[in-house]
Amino acid sequence: MRRWLPIVALLLVACGADAQNRSATAPRAGFDSNRAWTDLERQVAFGPRPAGSPALAKCREYIEAQLKAIKAAYREQTFDAMTPAGTIRMTNVIATIPGRRSDRLVIATHYDTKRFAEFKFLGASDAASSTAATLELARVLTARANEYTIELLFLDGEEAVNTEWRDPDNTYGSKYYVQAAQQAGTLASLKALILLDMVGDRDLDIRPDTNSAPWLNQIVWSSAARLGYASTFIPQPFTVEDDHLPFVEARVASIDIIDLDYPQWHTAQDDLDHVSARSLQIVGDVVLDALPQIEQQLSQNLNR
């Protein structure tokens, strides 16, 4: 993805106690960052995973094996993407956890890594971290009753094939997903998108993205503050181009939860030394806390 210049005018002082010393290793009934960390390590062990590579196919098999283990129904959405490097076959993986309502909330991540010929890019944060967090959220959410149907969406081809991020060379999987949903007439039941990307940074700082829906930012930042993560979810807005944009353009309420203040972004150092299980825990806790409030807000909108 690409970031634009930060909007610095709205710097508010983060306040309140922070739970920085909360254990990331204790077993929990909710989001378990130990399991998520295993998912992250396993992906990194496949090596660089650009769209169309055998390593990405192995990563996809791993994702699907995790979904099978929790008996989550899933399907593959395969398509041919026209890229600057020619046609590349790409595959989104779409898992569904039925809820009381058929209306859907989508939790999404990309699982491809950016291709670099000059060095070995492992993508520990970009995008093993968000893929791991999404898998662990799938485990938690299949084990409980949900109001809305929840879709876990593992997107291929987020990264630009060329070095530079220039349209239309990016977000191939999300563009295809939205276009296919529009053609199938299924977009109307998609009520909100929660996109996770680059959530593994050891020094996690997440800022609200201005392309995201303000009400979703507000709920997520309130959850973070309530859980004691106000120094991680800081209130300085900035603007990100990422997999949520095709959804935003299709008028789906969307939020991108992303830490782009990551010096190792798109370098050989985006590795296990620069990510942490605790960062996955923070993001998992916040998403799980925010979900019922997002559902409540959506229900109110529907009843209006």
Binding residues for Zn ion (CB under 5 A): 114, 126
Least CB distance to Zn ion at residue 41 (A) = 19
Q: Is 180 exposed, middle or buried (0-12, 13-18, 19+ CB in 10 A)?
A: middle
Which residue number, 50 or 237, has a Cβ lying nearer to Zn ion? 50
Q: Which is nearer to Zn ion, 114 or 115 (CB)?
A: 114
Encoded amino acid at 44, one letter: V
**Cβ proximity to Zn ion, 114 vs 191, nearer residue:** 114
Strand partners, 257: 196
Smallest distance from the beta carbon of 189 to Zn ion, in angstroms?
30
Distance (Å, rounded) from C-alpha 274 to C-alpha 21?
18
Smallest distance, Zn ion to C-beta of residue 161, A: 12
Closest residue to Zn ion using C-beta atoms: 126
What is the chain written as a DSSP string?
A: -EE-----TT-----S---TTS-SSS--SS--HHHHHHHHHHHHHT----TT-HHHHHHHHHHHHHHHHTT-EEEEEEEEEEETTEEEEEEEEEEEE--SSS-EEEEEEE------SSS----IIIIIIHHHHHHHHHHHHHTS--SSEEEEEEES--S-SSSS-BTTBS-HHHHHHHHHHHHHT-GGGEEEEEEEES--BSS--B--BTTS-HHHHHHHHHHHHHTT-TTTB----B-EESTTHHHHHTT-EEEEEE----TTTTSTT-SGGGB-HHHHHHHHHHHHHHHHHHHHHHHHHHH-
Q: How far is the CB of 34 from Zn ion (least distance, A)?
A: 25
Q: Of the two residues 32 and 123, which places its CB atom closer to Zn ion in the complex?
A: 123
Minimum Å distance from CB 48 to Zn ion?
12
Q: Which is nearer to Zn ion, 243 or 285 (CB)?
A: 243
Of 126 and 209, the one with the shorter C-beta distance to Zn ion is 126
Distance of closest approach, residue 160 Cβ to Zn ion, in angstroms: 9
Q: Cβ closer to Zn ion: 126 or 295? A: 126
Minimum separation from the CB atom of position 178 to Zn ion (A): 20
Residue (1 or 190) nearer to Zn ion, CB: 1
Cβ of residue 146: shortest distance to Zn ion, in angstroms? 30
